[in-house]
Structure 1
Amino acid sequence: MTNSNPLSRGRNLATKTYYELFPETLKAGPPPAGTFHVDSRALRGEFLQLQAVSHPDRHAASAKGAAEAESAQINEAYSVLQNSLARAQYLLSLKGINVTADDMATPEPELLMEVMEVMEEIDETDSQDDLEKLRSVNSHKIKRSEDILEQAFGRDDWEDARRETIRLKYWTNIKNRINDLEYSGNAGEPRKCEDI
């Protein structure tokens, strides 16, 4: 990596996309020029290099404020780009599409029924084996959504990307619910409706 400090290259971080903050890993930029899928290992490596250079402790007192802002933006960009749901939501936001707002993220009735059925199965499971089966099925759904998003973003199909991002949000909620149960060891414990 040549000069990995974004500010030292004369960049105005406030006007750059998260993709532009990682020029080595994401050379082509966001889709459709670049891909939706991200090499997480390369992204992590570049993140660590950028943080090593931009960390506020490495700067004089007069530059600490700018270094803190730079470091915070690099952290935020990394957090978004390494997570497929956050990355999809971010890409849509670049086009003015907000799928985090309730009115824009209304799922199709069939999807909502499917999610409710899976949540019910999770609640009724009483073994780690059953939980693992549900995790495996859900992991395939997440992978499928990520592949559909790759195609939708690649062809500039923002409506398909919006719809699939909503689906991915629900599969991610299911994944988190399974992880919570597994971590707590409470497979079969009742959940709250807002967990959906």
Structure 2
Amino acid sequence: MRLRRKLHRLIVNATPGAPARDYFALFQIQPELTLDEATLEQSYHALLAQFHPDLYAGQSQMEQRMAAQLCADINSAYQTLSHEVTRAEYLLSRAGVDLEAAERQGVGGEFLMKQIMLRERLEETPSADAAAREALHAEITTMYQSSRDGCAQSIAASDWSAAARCWQEMCFLSKLQEAARPEAR
């Protein structure tokens, strides 16, 4: 019973196998693209400490299953919210945006050309040229931050079409950013 009351307070679906209704409510944070990641991490650890299945070892099998499911939901929510691209995707899905339709619509031609040029520059830059890779990584990071900020502003303004376009840009740029990351010395 104790677990059920806690679950109800967290606004999660008590149906076995069902994910949390709202990841932001689960962590008791505002549903925004920009968030305090330290607060998210603190909430994550507090929830895990409170609902870890080992704490319910002496309870009924149903409460043990519920604790295990809640722990899985907490982990899934944390994985989603701890990365900006997946957080943006979650916010868009939560708002009812058809992400597949947005992907079919694509990004603008100007962005696509920039992305292609960056990809070509990346392929032409030797891995051993740390300075060139760092400069390219910094350029991509600046573009990513611009798309992220545009996505955050569009979400705040409920401009879902613009938010979806910026999210797609974030997806492209985050992959480029990772590929351009200078190799560890």
TM-score, length of structure 1 as denominator length: 0.78
Compared CA separation, residues 105 and 171, structure 1 to 2 (3 A) = farther
Displacement of 1:105 in angstroms is: 5.7
Deviations 1:103-146 (CA, angstroms, capped at 9, x unpaired):
53622222222111111111111201111111111111121112
More deviation, 139-148/95-104: 95-104
Please list every run of 5 or more consecutive structure 1 residues that lacks an aligned counterpart in the other structure. 186-196
More deviation, 101-110/144-153: 101-110
The correspondence for 1:19, drawn from 24, 37, 41, is 24
Distance 1:41 1:141 in 2: 24
Distance 1:145 1:10 in 2: 32
Give 3-state SS (helix, strand or coil) of 2:49's partner: helix
Query: What residue is the counterpart of 1:182 in the other structure?
Result: 183
**Which structure carries more helix by proportion?**
2
Query: What residue is the counterpart of 2:38 in the other structure?
Result: 41
Displacement of 1:89 in angstroms is: 0.8
Q: Is the CA contact 2:125–2:133 (under 8 Å) kept in the aligned structure 1?
A: yes
Give 3-state SS (helix, strand or coil) of 1:104's partner: helix
Displacement of 1:162 in angstroms is: 0.8
Distance 1:54 1:105 in 2: 42
Distance 1:160 1:102 in 2: 10
Amino acid at match of 1:41: A
Query: What residue is the counterpart of 1:124 in the other structure?
Result: 124
Amino acid at match of 1:69: Q
Distance 2:69 2:120 in 1: 44
Compared CA separation, residues 21 and 129, structure 1 to 2 (3 A) = same
Instruction: Provide the alpha-carbon RMSD of the alignment.
Output: 2.3
Compared CA separation, residues 103 and 143, structure 1 to 2 (3 A) = closer
Query: What residue is the counterpart of 1:167 in the other structure?
Result: 169
Compared CA separation, residues 125 and 69, structure 1 to 2 (3 A) = same
Q: Is the CA contact 1:145–1:168 (under 8 Å) kept in the aligned structure 2?
A: yes
Displacement of 1:102 in angstroms is: 8.0
Alignment of 1:1-196 (within 5 A): 6-7=6-7, 9=9, 11-13=11-13, 14=19, 16-23=21-28, 26=29, 29-30=30-31, 35-60=32-57, 62=61, 63-99=63-99, 103-104=103-104, 106-126=106-126, 127-179=129-181, 182=183
Q: Is the CA contact 2:143–2:173 (under 8 Å) kept in the aligned structure 1?
A: yes
Q: Is the CA contact 1:89–1:100 (under 8 Å) kept in the aligned structure 2?
A: no
Amino acid at match of 1:182: E
Deviations 1:136-167 (CA, angstroms, capped at 9, x unpaired):
11111121112112211111111110111111
Displacement of 1:182 in angstroms is: 2.2
Distance 1:158 1:89 in 2: 11
Distance 2:175 2:10 in 1: 40
Amino acid at match of 1:17: D
